A and B are shown apart, each in its own frame.
Chain A
Amino acid sequence: MLATPDWRLDDLGEDVYEPSEDTFLLLDALEAELPRLVGGSARLVVELGSGAGLVIAAVSRALQGGAHCVAVDINPAACRATQATAALNDARVEVIRGDLLECLLPGAIDLLIFNPPYVVTHADEIYQGDGINRSYAGGARGRQVMDRLFPQLPRLMSARSCFYMVVIDENEPQEIAALLGDLGFESSVVMRRRAGIERLSVMKFVRL
């Protein structure tokens, strides 16, 4: 089982997204996928946009030191929160401040997890600083940040790697599946849930 890590609101402050329905859906989806994650041969696990750090702390603990777990976030407050949450849960997590995954070595990522800024907003909102806006502001169709990542995936991911991502229906998951299909990834939906006005899904992409 994938235990939900503890976190302290004091570690988050006002600039870090507080764990919410989408966070817990992602944790539940990864728990459902746990046999695959533990049984797999992942050596490098990366969570992009780790925020409060619950997800990467949970995965790191579940893998029990079998993989090197790295969290990347552009928001410096989120980097510190991830570090604090990892320490609180005695989880080994390395934290890097960066823009998407441009600083990572090609072909190295075996397992990638991304709860992206998927909310439909004005494009300008994405670039209004590196604070909490980065956790939700997705621009047109909520796609502007994730769309920057997709073309980098074939370069970044290892052979037979796997990628989990949270989306809402406004992001047009079927179009994303087609896009990723063209990039060599097979898509499926691991879990769906309705939370308020958001119809959330966790998509899974396996490199063919």
Chain B
Amino acid sequence: MKLLTHNFLTSRCLKGVNVGYPLKIVLGHVGELPQALIEDYESNEDFLKKVHHVLLEVDVINGELVCPESGRKFPITSGIPNMLLNEDEV
């Protein structure tokens, strides 16, 4: 799973969850991006290359996505996040 895909995922269908976005990511590797958006982010080529690398080249093979409100974990196995909910969670 590329990190860009995470940007499109939500846990809002969980019972009692309002926004469910963004999901937290639990994995060993932490990105090389600055903590805050830099001022010249649109033109700073070095920064844009790092963003491209993190969003589109880093592949999450195993890890977890975590609902920011309920803490419900969604496992990522062999690069495939399992977003299925149990009947009693909907």
Contacts and interface: CB of A to CB of B under 8 A. Distances in A.
| B is a partner of A | yes
Interface of A: 44, 68, 70, 74, 76, 79-80, 83, 94-99, 102-106, 108
Contacts of B63: none
A96 B78 contact: no
A96 B13 contact: no
Contact of B9 (A74, A76, A79, A103): A103
B27 interface: no
Given A79-B80, A80-B78, A103-B83, A94 B10 contact: no
14 contacts: A70-B8, A76-B80, A79-B80, A80-B80, A83-B79, A96-B83, A97-B80, A97-B83, A98-B82, A99-B84, A102-B13, A103-B10, A104-B8, A105-B7
Contacts, number: 56
Contacts of A102: 13, 83, 85
A154 B65 CA distance: 26
A70 B80 contact: no
B20 to A, nearest CB: 9
Interface string B58-90: 000000000000000000001111111100000
A147 to B, nearest CB: 17
Contacts of B4: 68
Contacts of B1: 94-96
Given A103-B10, A103-B11, A103-B13, A98 B84 contact: yes
A95 B5 CA distance: 9
B81 A97 contact: yes
A103 B80 CA distance: 13
B80 to A, nearest CB: 5
Given A99-B84, A99-B85, A105-B10, A70 B79 contact: no
